[in-house]
Copies of this chain bind each other. A is one copy, B any other.
Amino acid sequence: MDNHKLFNKLITFTNAVYRVTEELTKEAKPNVLTQIQFDILDFIARNQPVTLSEICDCTHLSMPNASRELRKLGENDLIEKKSDVDDRRKQYIYMTSSGEKMIEDAYKLIKVNFDNRIKDISKEDLDEINYAIDKLQSKFYFDR
């Protein structure tokens, strides 16, 4: 197995992941939000509390643009900001309960799509899938 074959296999695999992910997440985004707004909300949901700077680092948005989108999320009562007591320049961003609910509902729909996709897969194959994900996550898709 040379690197080139593995490389090409990874390209094909990545395309498949993107295609299936799109199928699973299709229609999960609420219409009141743009894709970027939903991505930001999702990022906050899994990392809260976060600062605006952290959002910018992780989403490649500039501060002004991230600030603008965050303002819209705030206007929709999906997030709220609280000033840091120690450093009053910083704003810690939290989900509101309606923000939490919006993300929960989105994931519920994704879960339905997921259940539908695996409904005909045998227990043994699911175990293999589980094992393979662990392998890839630890051996290749790790942080650094």
Contact = CB atoms under 8 A, between A and B. Distances in A.
Nearest to A22: B60
Copies in the complex: 2
Interface residues of chain A: helix, strand, loop or mixed (majority): helix
Interface of A: 1, 3-4, 6-7, 9-14, 16-17, 19-21, 107, 110-111, 114-115, 117-118, 121, 125-137, 139-143
Contacts of A14: 17, 21
20 contacts: A1-B130, A3-B118, A7-B114, A9-B133, A11-B110, A13-B133, A13-B141, A14-B17, A14-B21, A16-B142, A17-B141, A19-B141, A20-B140, A125-B139, A128-B135, A132-B132, A132-B133, A132-B136, A132-B139, A136-B136
